[in-house]
Structure 1
Amino acid sequence: MELAQISQALRNDAMTVVFFNVLLQQLGLPVPAVPTLLLAGSLVLAPEGIVPILAAAIVASVLADWVWYGTGRVFGYRVLAGLCKLSINPSSCVSQTEARFVRWGLSSLVVAKFIPGFSTVAPPIAGALRMSQPGFLLAAGIGAGLWAGLALGAGWLLQDAVQTAIATLDRHAGRALTLTLLALGIWLGWKLWQKYRFRKFCAVPHISPDELLQALATEQPPLLLDLRGASMIADAGPIIGARIAEHDFLRDAVGDWPKEQAIVTLCACPEDAGAIQAARQLLNQGYLSVKPLKGGYDAWLQATRPAQESTSAG
C-alpha cells in the first residue's frame, strides 16, 4: 500500500487502521506501528482528536500483550525457550531478560515498549511467572499509553514536518524502498556478523554431562551454577546441589568460592550461550577453571534421568 493510500485510510478511519496496525505489531508481525501513529497524529486537527486514536492503540496493545501473557501462563518456559531459539543472535538470551524482569517486577512493563526485544518477551515472562493479571493489564496499559501517546503527540506537534516527509517519500517511493531494503540488508548483515563472532567466542573448553557427574562424585566437586530463568526453575524445579545464579550478579552467586577450584556453568539457551558468557566473565575475573556444560540443561536431564528413574522405582 502506498503512503498516499495509508494517509487516506487514516483520514477515513484512523481508529481502525491504528488498532489493527498496533495489534499486528505487538503480536510479533514485522509491521512498524510508530510511523502510522506519527502520521495519524499529524492528521488530527485538534489535540482532543488524539484521544480516541490513543484509546484504540492502547486497547490493541494491551490485547496483544494479554494474548502473550496467556500463552506464557499456559505453556510456561517453553514459550520463552522458543523465542530464545528464534533469535538470530544466540548471545541474546531470554533468560537474562527474564532475570531483569523479575528484578524490576511489573513496573518494567511501563517501559517495555521503548526497549527493542523486551516488549516481546515481557508479557509471556509475566504469564509464565504467574504474575497478577490485573496488575499486568494495568502496567501494560500505562506503558502502551505512554508509547502510543508520545508518537501521536509528536505527530501532532510536528504535523507540518511529518506531512512534508510523507509527501517527499511518496514522490520518491522507489528510492525510499531501495534505502529501506539497504538498511534492512545492513541490519541483517550486522546480526549475522554478531552470530559469527559469537561462534568464535564459543571456542572455550566445555565439560560433558558424564564428566560433570564424575567430578561431582569426587571429594572436591566443582561449583555448579544454574543460570536458567526463574520461570524454568519454577516449572522444572531446581538442580540439587547447584547454586541459582544471574548474569548480572555472578560474583554474588560464586561467593567465597576459591578461585583455583573448578566451576561449571549451566543454562538452557541455544548453543549454551548464557553458560559460555558466564564462564568467560568468571575467567576474566581470575577464576582458573570455569567450563560451560555442553548441551546445557537438556543434556543434564538426559544424563541424570536414568538415576532419577531408578530412584523413583526403588
Structure 2
Amino acid sequence: MGELQTMLEHHGLMLVFLNVLAEQAGLPIPAYPMLFVAGALGVQEAGPSIGAVLAAVIAACLIADTAWYFAGRRLGQPMLRTICKVSMSPDTCIRQTQSLYLRVGPRSLVFAKLLPGAGALSTAMAGMTATPLPVFLFYDALGALVWAGAALLIGVVFSDFVDVILAAFSAYGHLAVMALLGAFALFLAWRVWWRFHMLRRTRRIPRMTVDELEARRRAGTLPLVLDVRAHGPVPIERIPGALVVDMHGPLDSLRVQLESRDIVVYCACPNEISAAILAERLRVAGYAKTWALLGGFDEWKRLHGADIAPTAAHAANDATAG
C-alpha cells in the first residue's frame, strides 16, 4: 500500500494523537477516519496496538478538554457566546447541549463526544458549573474511551474494507486528496449557507429592546416574558417574572397565558436565534404581538444585573419546564 501505509505504521500513534488533539481543540479536522484506519491496522498488527491508540486518544482528549474546562470556569457566559459564534452547529443544538449538561451533570460527558458539536461545549459547561476537576477528568476520560472505542471497533470490523481504501489512496493519492478536500469544502459551504439562511429568516422577527421592556414594566403593561434558554434542576438567573418554556414544546399548554397578551421571548445566544425561532412559531400560531428581546439575557443583565437573582421559584420552574 505504499508510502501511506508505511507512514501510518511508523508514525501512526503520533498522527492519531495530533489529529485528536486538533479536533478536540475545536479545529474542523475530523479524527474518526484516522481512528478507523488505526483500528484496522491494529487488528492486523501492522500498526500501533489498539491499547496504545486508546491511551494516545485519552491523553489528547484530556489535554484539549481540560483547556476548555478552565476556559469555561474562568470566562463563563462569554465563553459560550464565543463557541456559538464560531461553531458550525446550529444554535439550537448548542442550547440543547447546555440543557443536557444542566439536567444530567458530568455524566453527560460519557456520550457528549458522540453528539455533533457537543464535545467542547460540554467541557466548557463543566467548568462553568464548577464541576470538581477530579470528577470532570474521570467522566471525560471515560467519554474519550467510549468515543474512540466505537471508532476503533468499526475499523476492526471493516478492516478489509479499510485496506481497499488505503490501497486506493496509495494508487490515486493526489486525486483522492483532492476529492476529500472538495467534499469537505462542499460540506463547509452547505453549513455556512444553512447558517446564513437561518440568520436571514430569524431577522424578520421584530425585536424589542431592553429599555422598551423596562418602560412597559414601569407603566404596568409588562408583556408575558418567556425564557427559552437551557435549564435544569440548578437555579439560574432569570429576568424577574419570566416563564421557562421549551422552544420546541407544544404551545397548547401555554394557551391560557398567551391569550390577549403581548409576548417577549429571550435567550442567551448570538443574534437571538433561539428566541426568534419560538417567536416565529408563536406568530404563525396567531400571536402576532410577539417579539424577540434584542441582546437577550446578556443585554438585560448588563443594564439591570442588580435586579436579578436565582430563587426557589426559579428552581421549581426549572424542574417542571419542558
Give the aligned partner of residue 217 of structure 2. 216
Mapped contact 2:208–2:293 kept (Cα < 8 A): yes
Q: How does 1:111-190 map to 2 (within 5 A)?
A: 111-190=111-190
Superposed displacement of residue 124, structure 1: 0.4
Count how many residue pairs are aligned between Structure 1 and Structure 2: 303
Give the SS at the match of 2:257: coil
Deviations 1:183-237 (A, max 9, x none): 2232233223223322133212222223212222233421222344569x988x4
Give the aligned partner of residue 21 of structure 1. 19
Distance 2:185 2:12 in 1: 32
Give the SS at the match of 1:239: coil
Distance 1:30 1:188, change over 3 A: closer
Distance 1:72 1:49 in 2: 35
Distance 1:8 1:184, change over 3 A: same
Q: How does 1:160-309 map to 2 (within 5 A)?
A: 160-198=160-198, 199-229=200-230, 237-248=237-248, 254=254, 256-301=256-301, 303-304=303-304
Partner amino acid for 2:177?
L
Q: How large is the RMSD of aligned CA atoms in angstroms?
A: 3.1
Distance 2:45 2:174 in 1: 33
Partner amino acid for 1:30?
P
Mapped contact 1:262–1:289 kept (Cα < 8 A): yes
List structure 1 segments (4+ residues) > 6 angstroms apart after TM superposition: none
Distance 2:89 2:50 in 1: 38
Give the SS at the match of 1:247: coil
Partner amino acid for 2:127?
G
Give the SS at the match of 2:201: helix
Give the aligned partner of residue 79 of structure 2. 79
Mapped contact 2:4–2:166 kept (Cα < 8 A): no
Distance 1:250 1:35 in 2: 40
Mapped contact 1:259–1:286 kept (Cα < 8 A): no
Distance 1:152 1:19 in 2: 14
Distance 2:137 2:71 in 1: 15
Distance 2:34 2:190 in 1: 27
Distance 1:17 1:11 in 2: 10
Partner amino acid for 1:103?
R
Mapped contact 2:41–2:159 kept (Cα < 8 A): yes
Distance 1:127 1:276, change over 3 A: same
Give the aligned partner of residue 54 of structure 1. 54
Partner amino acid for 1:9?
M
Give the SS at the match of 2:73: helix
Deviations 1:12-57 (A, max 9, x none): 2433332222122211123322122122222223699311221221
Give the SS at the match of 1:59: helix
Distance 1:161 1:93 in 2: 33
1:67 aligns with 2:78: no
Distance 1:304 1:253, change over 3 A: farther
Comparing 245-254 with 54-63, greater Cα deviation is found at 245-254
Query: Which consecutive residues of structure 1, in runs of 5 or more, have no partner in the other structure?
Result: 309-314
Comparing 166-175 with 6-15, greater Cα deviation is found at 6-15
Distance 1:132 1:226 in 2: 28
Give the aligned partner of residue 319 of structure 2. none
Give the SS at the match of 1:257: helix
| TM-score, normalization by structure 1 | 0.83
Distance 1:192 1:258 in 2: 35
Partner amino acid for 2:218?
A
Query: Which consecutive residues of structure 2, in runs of 5 or more, have no partner in the other structure?
Result: 308-322
Distance 1:253 1:127 in 2: 35
Give the aligned partner of residue 38 of structure 1. 36
Distance 2:133 2:251 in 1: 34
Superposed displacement of residue 256, structure 1: 4.2
Counting aligned pairs with the same residue, the percent is 33
Distance 1:56 1:255 in 2: 54
Distance 1:130 1:62 in 2: 17
Superposed displacement of residue 291, structure 1: 0.7
Mapped contact 2:279–2:290 kept (Cα < 8 A): yes
